[in-house]
């Protein structure tokens, strides 16, 4: 219990630090982005929005920095991240809410597939090391060594341009209206297959290698030899004794990978023009949309934090040693 409380406090402090940095950074930027923006938008921004923008940016010169900080927290706690310049006057939260599910859905599923596949394959070749199965390693490593955008472009050239199996870009058929219908779901899957496939292809070797190496290490542990000496069925030696221990570090990498889903797929979304949060951030940077950038960063940071928390919990569930008070 003390462990949980301690970790909880740790995460609260980290979250606070992340939010505070998000508050401080724009205030350190030279120039007045809001003035530049107002000039650009030529009177389309009304004065109340201007105030909100100034507040978010620390350009509200009348208030003390402390007052600004308190106000900023107030806005945040009401879920107000300001208004996006680029999609004016849509609130940032709404813009993010539109793209986040796409990224989380596509990359999340791809990451889970990649992890599961890689771990199973790694378990197999780690247990039977020194057999033909080791030949799989260089092949998968090749795909992760190729730069991702190149892999993506080749996949597009091959599967959508030449073979015409999958669409080259987008996340669903634009002639459809998003709805919970089988047709729409089918379209989402058709558009998502190629990006998901390339993500799996480029990331699976990491999982294979990680699991294989841990299996090799764990296989020479005494308790695995004891399991053999006990005459346990091979399946239970491999799964219950070897893999069950080998998967521990793998699990924490996995939860961290889930945290990076939100922030780490910029290139995929660019290559496939996929309307996820990476693409959104890319556009925000291109359009000097500071509130949107700030919002994206906040979401990304919090996602990593939540993933870390999940990693802690999973580790505690899987490894009795970490549950010990200490």
Partner 1 sequence: MTATVSDRRPPAVPERTPVLEIENLSVDYGYDDDPAHVLRGVSLTLHRGEVLGLAGESGCGKSTLAYAATRLLPPPGLVTGGRVMFTDRDGSRSDVLALSDAELRAARWQDVAIVFQGAMNSLNPVFRVGRQIADGIRAHRSVGRREALDRAAELLEMVGISPDRLRDYPHQLSGGMRQRVMIAMALALEPQVLLMDEPTTALDVVMQRQIVEQIAELRERLGFAVVFITHDVSLLIEMADRIAIMYAGEIVEDAPAREIYQRPRHPYSSALLHSFPPLRGARRELSGIPGAPPNMAHLPTGCPFVPRCPHAADACRAGRPTLGPTAFAEAGRSVACTLHDGAREVPQELAQR
Which is closer to partner 1, CB of 134 or CB of 234? 234
Least distance in Å: CB of 106 to partner 1? 33
Which is closer to partner 1, CB of 200 or CB of 242? 242
How far apart, in whole angstroms, are the C-alpha atoms of residue 145 and residue 96? 32
Provide the binding-site residues for partner 1, judged by CB under 8 A.
130, 220-223, 225-234, 236, 240-241, 244-245, 248, 318-321, 324
Which is closer to partner 1, CB of 34 or CB of 218? 218
State the angle between helix axes of 92-127 and 182-219 in degrees (0 to 180), rounded to the nearest 10: 40
How far apart, in whole angstroms, are the C-alpha atoms of residue 65 and residue 71? 10
Which is closer to partner 1, CB of 164 or CB of 320? 320
How far apart, in whole angstroms, are the C-alpha atoms of residue 218 and residue 221? 5
Q: Which residues of 10-48 are buried (b: 16+ CB within 10 A; e: fewer)?
A: eeeebeeebbeebbeebeeeeeebbeebbeeeeeebeee
Least distance in Å: CB of 227 to partner 1? 7
CB 137 within 8 A of CB 212: yes
Least distance in Å: CB of 320 to partner 1? 4
Least distance in Å: CB of 133 to partner 1? 16
Which is closer to partner 1, CB of 30 or CB of 320? 320
What are the structure tokens assigned to 37, written together? 């923006």
How far apart, in whole angstroms, are the C-alpha atoms of residue 187 and residue 108? 18
Least distance in Å: CB of 264 to partner 1? 30
Least distance in Å: CB of 321 to partner 1? 5
Running DSSP on this structure, what letter comes out for residue 46? -
Q: Where in the chain does DSSP place strands (E)? A: none
Which is closer to partner 1, CB of 65 or CB of 226? 226
């Amino acid at each position: 219990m003390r462990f949980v409380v301690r970790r909880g406090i740790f995460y609260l402090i980290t979250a606070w630090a992340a939010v505070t940095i998000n508050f401080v950074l724009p205030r350190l930027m030279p120039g007045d982005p809001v003035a530049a923006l107002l000039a650009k938008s030529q009177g389309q921004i009304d004065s109340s929005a201007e105030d909100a923008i100034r507040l978010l940016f620390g350009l509200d010169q009348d208030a003390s920095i402390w007052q600004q900080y308190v106000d900023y927290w107030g806005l945040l706690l009401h879920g107000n991240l300001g208004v996006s310049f680029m999609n004016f006057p849509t609130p940032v939260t709404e813009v993010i809410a539109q793209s986040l599910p796409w990224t989380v859905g596509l990359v999340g599923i791809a990451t889970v597939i990649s992890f599961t596949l890689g771990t199973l394959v790694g378990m197999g070749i780690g247990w039977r090391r020194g057999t033909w199965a080791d030949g799989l390693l260089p092949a998968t490593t090749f795909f992760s060594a190729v730069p991702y955008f190149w892999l993506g472009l080749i996949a597009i050239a091959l599967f959508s341009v030449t073979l015409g199996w999958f669409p080259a870009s987008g996340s669903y058929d634009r002639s459809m209206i998003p709805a919970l219908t089988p047709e729409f779901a089918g379209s989402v899957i058709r558009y998502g297959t190629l990006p998901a496939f390339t993500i799996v292809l480029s990331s699976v070797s990491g999982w294979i290698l990680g699991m294989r190496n841990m299996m090799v290490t764990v296989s020479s542990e005494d308790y695995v030899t004891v399991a053999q000496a006990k005459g346990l069925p091979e399946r239970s030696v491999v799964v219950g004794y070897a893999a069950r221990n080998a998967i521990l570090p793998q699990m924490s990498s996995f939860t961290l990978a889930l945290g990076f889903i939100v922030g780490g797929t910029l290139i995929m979304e660019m290559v496939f023009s996929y309307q996820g949060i990476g693409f959104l951030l890319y556009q925000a940077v291109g359009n000097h949309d500071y509130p949107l950038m700030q919002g994206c960063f906040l979401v990304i940071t919090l996602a990593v934090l939540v993933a870390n928390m999940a990693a802690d919990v999973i580790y505690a569930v899987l490894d009795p040693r970490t549950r010990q008070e200490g």
